[in-house]
Structure 1
Amino acid sequence: MKNIQMNQAQKGFTLIELMIVVAIIGILAAVAIPAYQDYTIRAKVTEAMSIASQAKTAVSEYYVSQGSMPADAAAAGLSATGTDYETAVVDAMTYGRTSADVGVVTVAVEDLGGDTAAGQNFTLTGTGDSTGVEWVCAAGTLASKYLPSNCR
């Protein structure tokens, strides 16, 4: 009888190699998914900021022409009902005057996912002087990590 020698090269991957690859993919997914969710919420908040720009423009124009902040939303040419600005990302937008030179636009957002809830808000505070109105945004009840980078 002939001695048959079986010299075959290993084909494919071993079970442990496959388990290591699956574990690495799981770790990457555990890091990437929350980061992506924060990114999408930040994009929605940025959309809400752009919707609020119409209020900033109206208030700024009023201040430049009248020399003081509008007394209320109607005086600024905005809807007195904050829910008139409701969209997929904005729950409501309101305006209030704190002094003759300071006005505040408050934007409440819808539930944007993650740890946000409907009604959480951020503010845009306009301070007027002889050169116009300067706007500063700040987190209200909305977590500041969701605001655009120029607001943090």
Structure 2
Amino acid sequence: MKQDQKGLTLIESMMVIALIGILATIAIPPAFRLYEDSQAREQVTEAVDLLDSVKSPVATFYSDKGKWPTPEEFDNLVPTRTGKYVESLTPESREKGFEVIAKFKSTGVSPGLVMGGSGRTLVLATTNGKEWFCNDNTDPASGVPDLVPGTVLPQHRPSSCK
């Protein structure tokens, strides 16, 4: 008498589980990396918003006084200089322009926004208060010549900063 098989044998079940394990091992790391990158891009948006809020007061100050604000004057112009992910906004006067550096916190942010135990930076700079460059436009003709470039990775920057 022949009996019909109604399920998987033990060996077949083990092979299915092994195959699922192999596929998971291949698929999970890239998916996790994509998740971390999207999380970092969202957190960078906070820095971009803070930096955007700096443009108008700094440009007005420059057009009124003919000079860039000192750190103390910057403190009075820009009251909000930190955020959930941004540790600080730091103004820097350059020989031929002005820059504001947004530094990310070293904890509580996406791992892509931390470098060597310290938060990465995003930079906004101008030579005239009208045109603003994000992160690393150091070209002497079209950017800020002595700009200190930011360290946020290109894949985490918004399109306006690439």
Same fold (TM over 0.5): yes
Larger Rg: 1
Shift of 1:71: 3.3
Matched, 1:113 2:123: no
Contact 2:58 2:69 in 1 (8 A): no
Give the structure 1 partner of residue 58 of structure 2: 59
Shift of 1:107: 1.0
Contact 1:69 1:103 in 2 (8 A): no
- Amino acid in structure 1 at the alignment position of 2:133: V
Shift of 1:84: 6.2
Give the structure 2 partner of residue 38 of structure 1: 37
Shift of 1:66: 2.1
The C-alpha deviation readout for 1:5-31, integer Å capped at 9, x for no partner, is 21x135245321221122112211111
Shift of 1:136: 0.8
User: How far, CA to CA, are the matches of 1:83 and 1:57 in structure 2?
Assistant: 13
Q: Percent identity?
A: 20
User: How far, CA to CA, are the matches of 1:126 and 1:18 in structure 2?
Assistant: 58
User: How far, CA to CA, are the matches of 2:82 and 2:32 in structure 1?
Assistant: 28
Contact 2:90 2:102 in 1 (8 A): yes
- Amino acid in structure 2 at the alignment position of 1:126: T
Q: 1:83 to 1:109 in 2, by over 3 A?
A: farther
Which stretches in structure 1 are left out of the alignment for 5+ residues?
none
Aligned with residue 146 of structure 1, among 117, 131, 156: 156
The C-alpha deviation readout for 1:97-121, integer Å capped at 9, x for no partner, is 224x621111111122314143431
TM-score, normalising length from structure 1? Answer: 0.75
Q: CA RMSD in A?
A: 2.7
User: How far, CA to CA, are the matches of 1:136 and 1:28 in structure 2?
Assistant: 38
SS at 2:110 equivalent: coil
Select between 65-74 and 109-118 the one with higher mean Cα deviation: 65-74
- Spell out structure 1 runs of 4+ moving beyond 6 A: none
Give the structure 1 partner of residue 141 of structure 2: none
Counting strand residues as a fraction of each chain, which structure ranks higher?
1
Q: 1:83 to 1:60 in 2, by over 3 A?
A: closer
SS at 1:107 equivalent: strand
Give the structure 1 partner of residue 82 of structure 2: 86
Give the structure 2 partner of residue 102 of structure 1: 97
The C-alpha deviation readout for 1:60-90, integer Å capped at 9, x for no partner, is 2223x42734232444xx316x996222211
Which stretches in structure 2 are left out of the alignment for 5+ residues?
136-148
